[in-house]
């Protein structure tokens, strides 16, 4: 059990710091603030709360595309890691999860853990995403 906890902690730290490195290396930053704004538009679109104008539609699509790509990339990483005997399981999505649930996980996490206004634009979106999904879709620890 302790081995599993240590492995998960190592993975979480790796993902946390990799987010900073990847954004800085590429010179492209999609911030937690950008993701939050875009996901609010996506939630409204998915709930059909209002008629979407073009700007809202593009912002909502960016959130949905980002989350789909994030989850797909994580899934590929998990499959490849298992092939070499590593199971990091940072989060465990249920088979019936839909996009609205993913969007709401991000929005809820940020509302429960608000970032200081002076730093929210500097936090990479992937840092927010992994934290939100790990908190919302936590994996059960295996008995050892």
Query: Could you read off the pLDDT of 43-69 as tens digits, one per residue?
Result: 988 887 666 665 678 888 999 999 999
Task: State the pLDDT confidence band at 116, using cuts at 50, 70 and 90.
Answer: confident
Residue-number span of the structural domain to which 14 is assigned: 2-136
In a domain, 74, yes or no: yes
In a domain, 144, yes or no: no
Q: What angle do CA 38, 25, 41 make, to 5 degrees?
A: 0
In a domain, 70, yes or no: yes
Distances (CA, A) of 140 to 9, 31, 79, 137: 15, 30, 18, 9
* Rama region for 28: left / alpha / beta (φ>0; ψ in -120 to 50; rest): beta
Residue 15's nearest CA partner among 128, 103, 115, 122 is 128
The string of pLDDT tens digits covering residues 9-37 is 344 434 444 444 454 555 658 999 999 99
In a domain, 142, yes or no: no
Transcribe 49-98 into DSSP letters.
Answer: -S---HHHHHHHHHHHHHHHHHHHHHHHHHHHHHHTT----S----TT--
Sign of CA dihedral 10, 74, 43, 137: negative
pLDDT of residue 5: 42
In a domain, 141, yes or no: no
In a domain, 55, yes or no: yes
- Global pTM value: 0.74
β-sheet bridge partners, residue 59: none
Domain count, the chain: 1
């Amino acid at each position: 059990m302790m081995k599993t906890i240590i492995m998960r902690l190592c993975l979480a730290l790796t993902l946390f710091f990799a987010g900073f490195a990847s954004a800085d290396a590429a010179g492209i930053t999609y911030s937690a603030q950008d993701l939050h704004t875009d996901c609010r538009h996506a939630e409204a679109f998915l709930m059909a709360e209002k008629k979407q104008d073009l700007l809202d539609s593009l912002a909502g699509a960016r959130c949905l595309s980002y989350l789909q790509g994030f989850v797909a990339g994580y899934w590929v990483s998990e499959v490849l890691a298992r092939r070499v005997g590593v199971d990091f399981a940072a989060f465990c999505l249920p088979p019936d999860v839909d996009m609205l649930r993913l969007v709401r996980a991000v929005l809820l996490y940020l509302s429960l853990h608000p970032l200081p206004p002076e730093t929210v634009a500097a936090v990479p979106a992937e840092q927010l995403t992994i934290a939100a999904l790990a908190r919302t879709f936590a994996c059960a620890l295996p008995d050892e």
